[in-house]
Amino acid sequence: MSIPDTPFSKAGRRFGARCIALLVMTASLAPPPAIAQSAPRADPEQGDGRVSPFYEWKQAIPSTPGKLLRSEPLPETIGLSSAGRQLRILYTSTSGFDSKTPIVVSGALFLPKGKAPAGGWPVIAWAHGTVGLADICAPSWAGRSYRDTAYLNRWLQQGYAVVATDYEGLGVPGPHPLINIPAISYGVLDSIRAAVNGVPQIANKAVIVGQSQGGAAAFGAASYAPSYAPDIHLKGAVGTGVIYNRSPDLPPLPPPPVKPNPNVFDESIVYSLFGFVVSRQFDPALQFSDVFSQKGTALAEKARTSCLAAVEADAEFGAFTRAETFLATPGERYRRFLASADERAARYSRYPTLKLQVPIFIGTGASDLTPSALNQLTLMKDACAAGSVVEGHVYAGLGHSATVNASLRDSIPFVKKLFAGERIESICEPHLQ
């Protein structure tokens, strides 16, 4: 998401909106062949643990991505009311840190009520927004917000199975790298494979749907699908609040019209905290004191093991301002880390291509600040210019969260057209609705 200017957050924006994202990948090459290996050990410093044994895979990890390893009934208390059957799942994928190491990823699968149609239920692959870094934040363990529950119930009611990845490192041991485009893309694509190959009632026909971090996953997965998962019959993608880290080869966007007041409480501080925790995954020598004040350090340390809602509540209760959270000048250790920020951004947080082989719906709230509506509108135009079919929509008076369910009036017909094989007309510069 977009992060207001501070010594840390300028780098965070270059890494990819809400947080730092990492990994080398090209659009033209599929990941190299993987070899089976064991799952990493739980590391409490990375927020691992405090979940059930279901999430711990003790055998060698199969080298084939998208293999359903096991499932169990999902408790009704964290399920979806419109589901006829709901499962917690564990499946194989590929690490976004090196694009070759086999990993285990958790998630959930929801089937509609009633009898499956001939050929099986078509699939909606849901990619969730940022929830935190700790295993206990995984939606298949912690449940979902009222907003997301209402949203996913609507897709079930339309007659689609919903498979919902937790992403790499959430639920299962290992670090979660937040907006690492390959990592979240692989997690989504392999969740589709696991559902299609592991459950007889599921058809190999899918649309990817995501919000915020998941909006980036939707665009990223659509861009990686031809090389990483050509076996999936992907019909298209839907993204709201889509994060876009624009290539420096394109003209820069103008700065925000209003700069945030560093002396006023700013909820986006929380994303800077999570972003810095992610940066320590790649340079463990970094210390919170390199970037944060004593007050800010206390909150940043909590971001390692607590979920987004809890850290946001603490930040709001403490009325954290940017001026009192961050050092006026970051330490030398962190400044050295920033020296390679552009290289990391190119390697990890940009889409491998803006030319998608399937249509994409992008819904944007005109009042969205995280990322900015301008950023999302620019993605629509850039993707259209690259040759993608983009159906863009912008919703007057709506912010980042409100756009999710409001966009259903347009995204449901869009998805019906995709599954029916109907033509999608590009709307590259949408008018306010």
pLDDT band at 12 (very low <50, low <70, confident <90, very high): very low
Going by pLDDT thresholds of 50, 70 and 90, the confidence category of residue 259 is low
Q: What tens digit of pLDDT does each residue of 187-206 get?
A: 999 999 999 999 999 999 99
Q: Radius of gyration (Cα) for the chain, nearest Å?
A: 20
pLDDT at 11 over 50: no
Confidence at residue 6, expressed as pLDDT on a 0 to 100 scale: 33
What does the pLDDT read at residue 257? Answer: 60
Measured CA to CA, the distance from residue 369 to residue 275 in angstroms comes to 17
State the alpha helices, DSSP H only, in 199-238: 213-228
pLDDT per residue over 333-373, tens digit each? 999 998 888 777 777 899 999 999 999 999 999 999 889 99
Q: Phi and psi (nearest 5°) for 365?
A: -80, 130
Kindly give the pairing relationship between strand 202-211 and strand 360-365. unpaired
pLDDT for the residue 191: 98
CA distance 240 to 215: 6
Q: Residue 31 and residue 224: Cα distance in Å, rounded?
A: 10
Confidence label for 260 from pLDDT (cuts 50, 70 and 90): low
Assess whether pLDDT exceeds 80 at residue 29. Answer: no
Residues in a beta bridge with 395? 365
Judged by average pLDDT, the poorest of 45-49, 172-176, 246-250 is 246-250
pLDDT at 282: 86
Instruction: List the end-to-end C-alpha distance of the chain, in Å, as a whole number.
Output: 23
Question: Which tens digit of pLDDT belongs to each residue from 384-429?
Answer: 999 999 999 999 999 999 999 999 999 999 999 999 999 999 999 9
